[in-house]
Amino acid sequence: MTHGRAAALAVLSPIVICALLSGIHPAYAAAPGDVTADGVRDPQDDASPWGIASGAEWAADYPKFNLALQTVGVRWLRSSYPWHAIQPTEGTWIWRPMDDLVANARANHIHLTAGFGYLATWASADGGTYAFPIKNIQYWRDYVSAMVARYHNDIKYWEVWNEFNGGFAVNATPQTYAELVRETYDAAKKIDPTAKIGVSVANFDVGYLDAAIKAGGADHFDYICVHPYENLAALAEGGEISFLSMAGALRQMLAANKQRTDIPLWITEIGATAPVQPDAAGDRRQAEALAKAYLLSIASGFQRVFWFEARGPSYGKETDFGVIRADWTPRPSYDALKAMIDALGQKPQYLGWLDMDKGGYGFLYRGRNEDVLAVWSPPGTEHKITFPADVGVIDLAGGDSTLRAGQGLTLTGTPLLLTKVPASLARQARDKAGKPFPWGGDYAKAEVVLSRLGAVNVDSGVKQVDLQTTLSVTAGAESWRRTDFTRPEGDGRYVQFRVDPQFVPYGTTNLEITAVVRRAAPETVAGMNIDYESLKGYRGGPNYQEIPGDEQWHELTWKVSDANFVGGWGWNFRLSALGSAGEFDVKEVRVRKSTTSQESKGAADP
């Protein structure tokens, strides 16, 4: 036992000390180079962004999938066993499964990041694993202390819970989470001052992080973790700019709360499904999503990204998230991950951007041995580019070819990695680093942004999300979109929108939202609420407005004073027809910055 380990045990309760001493695993004997308070380098101080997250359903497969991940160059795994499995009864500690997980990760040269949670059944309010309050917070302190004392040589990064703002915490509030964060931070740092404590939320819930910090979590975390699944899904409809804005929104929130703005940002879950059985189109879409998730995250300032997941699960919908199928065959997404790691190496550095053929995406990175330019086109478009010299072209399957000088290359929605980037283009990209991205327009100084809906929407700072949930209607030279109540699961009762982040940066609270609408059938009553993203999460009514009963177009306007348009679920506001008897048409939506703070509603003819 090293002096550092003895000191760590000294602050534990006698019960915890006995548990640790009775089951010390040989793999956790201190090794030369362990981090100590006198500044020995952290062996897990690894710049690699390449991570995989594993859920509970398939976590036991790590002996096989860790090897597969190590083979392609994945350096981080997010996985751990919950409190109730490690300490099933008070005073009983079962370490072997977690010991084996940690030892296997080490054997495969993979860094493990773990989480504290959920509740031990004997310590919870109702004998379950999610319901608060904890009977005695000392139980939680002992659990955190025991975990850090046992694994501090191997695990340096610990998340407090998983998606506390989601379905994994019952009877819980931001105040509950803030207390848990404080207790975890203090207990962990007593054992290992070099331990890093992360706060974590489902989706991209900046508002919940803000509330937890204000509730007492300030200055008690070392990194932030988000799970922006919906923001990734929005890329299929051109959501790159909103995705790229996430890191900035987090740093603005930190600044507003007087927290460190350079704190590391992690994405510890993000993913997209593919069909269980091989399917060319479905597999390609997942591979594209995976590539964009890593490329955009690195470009926008996220330090580490964990794709969910290595293998499975399907959740009964004939699709799953894994880069490896249930039969252990690799998916195209696995090949895409390998292709990116091979080209970009373990320390990719974002250098700048290029506007490819006036609309195509281009992101320059310093790769393994040279500059690498990632390129693709927005959905439904193609851009053709040429270069003054030969360049290398790597596709997501790992295929490597040469594009001759002057030869055209057609960009599609599938990312390509270009090597041997001409020096003049690399300089242009570097010169643009830190400047606003060009795609979608410049709305930073605009007074109003809008979208005109029709057979083809015309967007000027507002974009409809999930276009397929509405129907296109054309009459003569005009067209508009109509709610579709026949859609399954009620999807057709919502018309969702996203606003350009330049127009509504974090801190923009007073907005005026106007919809130009009419009844689909004048004799059928129709109307809507507006749901919007606020400082306290998504909010709905009571703000219902009925559309007048005629064939004219009408303007319905709402004013909100607590907006927080960061795209937590991939959208900022929506017209909700849940209370409407009939369908309605939508011709235009507008968003204006308001100087008033009174929330109101009204309707008027244009």
27-66 per-position pLDDT tens digit: 333 333 334 343 445 667 789 999 999 987 777 888 999 9
Which residue type does 304 have?
R
* Residues contacting residue 5 through CB under 8 Å, at least 6 positions apart: 30, 149
Cβ pair 577, 483 in contact under 8 A: yes
Q: How many Å apart are CA 258 and CA 218, to the nearest integer? A: 9
The answer to whether residue 10 scores a pLDDT higher than 50 is no
Average pLDDT of the segment spanning 185-200? 98
**351-432 maps to which CATH number?**
2.60.40
301-333 residue pLDDT tens = 999 999 999 998 777 789 999 999 989 999 999
Quote the CA–CA distance of 348 and 305 in Å, as a whole number: 13
Q: What proportion of the chain, given as a percentage, has pLDDT over 90?
A: 84
CATH 2.60.120.260 residue spans of the chain? 448-604
Residue 541 has pLDDT above 80, yes or no: no
Which two tokens mark 280? Answer: 């060319």
Hey, what long-range contacts does 275-282 have (CB within 8 A, 24 or more apart)?
A: 275/318, 275/319, 276/314, 276/318, 276/319, 276/320, 276/325, 276/326, 277/318, 278/325, 282/319
Checking if the pLDDT of 4 tops 80, the result is no
Query: Where does 3-331 sit in CATH, by number?
Result: 3.20.20.80
Determine what percent of the chain falls in helix, strand and coil, rounding each to the nearest 5: 30, 30, 45
Round to whole Å and give the CA distance between 459 and 606: 20
CATH 2.60.40 in the chain is located at 351-432
Burial of 29 per CB tally in 10 Å (0-12, 13-18, 19+): exposed
| CATH of the domain spanning 448-604 | 2.60.120.260
CATH 3.20.20.80 domain extents, the chain: 3-331
